[in-house]
Amino acid sequence: MAGQANFSSGIAAGQIMQDAKRFIRSNLPVAAVPGIAEIRLHKALPSSRLGRLARGDAKGFGSPYWAYHWAGGLALARHILDNPGLVVGKRVLDLGAGSGVVAIAAAKAGANSVTAAETDPYAVAALDLNLELNAVAADVIAADITDSEPPPVDLVLVGDLFYSEALATRVTRFLDRCADAGIAALIGDPWRAPLRLEQLEEQARYEVAESGSPVPVAAGVFAFRPRGARFP
């Protein structure tokens, strides 16, 4: 069974979603994504004062990754929009969707359907708002599916999810099961340390504007190699 996101109960989940959406609408302005004019997202500024949202939910509020731009997702979204043939007509899963830049890019590029999996309830709130803002649809799974069998999709997209060893191991095992089921995967990542290069084949490189970096960040798009096709 898929692990659940950090919701303690259905009522709490509904309240968190409502409060989070209200906060995001009021405090995280909408702007075009740097280098991806096709997509607009709610993103944090210093004036957003995310700490106020965190103080209202001391236990449930994790790292607000959803409020910022990540190099891997920016590169993967740009790559999909520039190469729509990668997703046209396909059922696509965006694993670790965050604020949704990759899921939205896939939907805009012509994916047949988009599923977005995300464990942080605040990210799910931002994702819902950003899907609506960009006039695209996705089925949102608010759960950790990395221990589950792959859903019925043709392609998994992974934007910047190799930021810890433990998560890299979970994601790699999931992508191995996807490959066993004939499901391909594309990963966007700025060569973070836990990225397992021997499992990947580089497809493209981009210079992107990651939040917090004063200079452009290099990020790659990689195809995931099935177990039988890796370097030793």
Ligand X SMILES: C[S@@+](CC[C@H](N)C(=O)[O-])C[C@H]1O[C@@H](n2cnc3c(N)ncnc32)[C@H](O)[C@@H]1O
The least distance separating ligand X from the CB of residue 160, rounded to whole angstroms, comes to 4
Q: What is the contact mask toward ligand X in residues 165 to 204, using x (rule: CB under 6 A)?
A: --x-------------------------------------
Please, what's the b/e burial string for 161-175 (b: 16 or more CB within 10 A of its CB; e: otherwise)? Answer: bbbeeeebeebbebb
When asked if residue 97 is in the footprint of ligand X (CB under 6 A), the reply is yes
Count of residues near ligand X by CB under 6 A:
24
Residue 111 DSSP label: B
Integer distance in angstroms from the first to the last C-alpha of the chain? Answer: 33
Residue 89 DSSP label: T
Residue of 60, 58, 73 lying closest to 163 (CA atoms) = 73
Contact window for ligand X (CB under 6 A) among 43-51, 98-106, 202-210, 215-223? 98-106
Residue closer to ligand X by CB (options 146, 199) is 146
Q: Which of 42, 61, 90, 98 binds ligand X (CB under 6 A)?
A: 98
| Cα–Cα dist 95/103, whole Å | 9
* Chain residues 99-158 in contact with ligand X, contact rule CB under 6 A: 99, 101-102, 117-120, 123, 144, 146
Residue closer to ligand X by CB (options 158, 179) is 158
Contact 44, 154 (CB under 8 A): no
Q: What is the contact mask toward ligand X in residues 8 to 47, using x (rule: CB under 6 A)?
A: ----------------------------------------
| Cα–Cα dist 71/217, whole Å | 7
Count Cβ atoms within 10 A of the Cβ of residue 8 and give its class: 0-12 exposed, 13-18 middle, 19 or more buried.
Answer: exposed
Q: Which of 50, 86, 116, 161 binds ligand X (CB under 6 A)?
A: 161
Local structure of 134: helix, strand or coil: coil
Ramachandran angles phi, psi of 156, nearest 5°: -105, 135
Q: What is the contact mask toward ligand X in residues 50 to 89, using x (rule: CB under 6 A)?
A: ---------------xx---x-xx----------------
Residue nearest to ligand X (CB): 73
Binding-site ranges for ligand X (CB under 6 A):
65-66, 70, 72-73, 95-99, 101-102, 117-120, 123, 144, 146, 159-161, 163, 167
